[in-house]
Structure 1
Amino acid sequence: MTQDFWSRRKAKVAAETEAETEVAVAEPEMTDAEVLAAFDLPDPDTLIAGDDIKGFMAKAVPDHLRRRALRRLWRLNPVLANVDGLVDYGEDFTDSAKVVEHMQTAYQVGKGMLTHLEKLAAPPEVVAEDADEEPEEAPVQIDATVTAYAEIETELDEAPAPRRRMRFEYQQEVAS
């Protein structure tokens, strides 16, 4: 291995494109009518309901002819083009029965929720209309019930401190 991965990859891609060009040169360009005649297929634009399009699904048929046949099939039978309900977001979210009236969102197209979050993060504006005047000091009122509770002392029964270690006591019977 004298070359690194990317050098080998680049050489492989170049070899693939060269092989494709050789195949393209070997095969003369055929018109759509010639390709359809070679595969014995009808013109995709003349298909009618009930026609079999399996021949267009062969790998040898050019992709643009396959797509033309599928488009014609979908136009003939619109049921085939409808969503089968297995799509995650296949529901109709514009149904007026499911829409909440006057629903508002903070999300703005192209801006996201940035402006709403900026308003929340901004410090509140302080209105200083009477900045020259000093606020009047309100007289301090002391609640009599609060002082009465503070003066009452309660005597708590102090329980003995819990033992920190386990102690076992054995009673021995004295043999006489």
Structure 2
Amino acid sequence: MTQPRDFWSRRKAGVQAEAEAEQAAVEAQVIAQEQAALEEKGDAEILAELNLPDPDSLQPGDDVTGFMARAVPDRLRRRALRRLWRLNPVLANVDGLVDYGEDYTDAACVLENLQTAYQVGKGMLAHVEALAAEAEEPDDETDDDVVAEEPPTAEPEPAAQPQLAEAAPEPETDDTPAPRRMRFEFEG
């Protein structure tokens, strides 16, 4: 268990934190001044001053750690890293294990006239509401299909006709049930 620090130890820690913050601010200012001075110089002058080779002339196996120093401007560091990535086959070739390496913005994969019911911020709400409204409407087709049966008439049945030797095969009936619509109800 830690004991609460007394006033003087907290004060000492606060003074030390202020000193470290001042030192970090001074270092950041010095680095900013160095970067500003380097921005005025050309790349060849900076490379000669820091004793570094031209990043575009790097060969396989060359050391690029010199380009990672704080004194080297970002533009030279990036040139050296680009050259390194082009030279090293391990870094240049993607192994296929990158999770998000696919290009899903490829225009060749997009279907023409693609339409969707999805709306940003609403999702599929309009589509679901349209389906619900359609399900609530009474079906007019079912009323037309129902035909009132006529009462049987008392007509005599015709005489039995001779049957052919071979009867025509009856068509096979499909006993699968008719497809049903799914109905969803949402509360709220």
Instruction: Give the structure-2-normalised TM-score.
Output: 0.40
Instruction: Give the structure-1-normalised TM-score.
Output: 0.43
Q: Which has the larger helix fraction?
A: 2
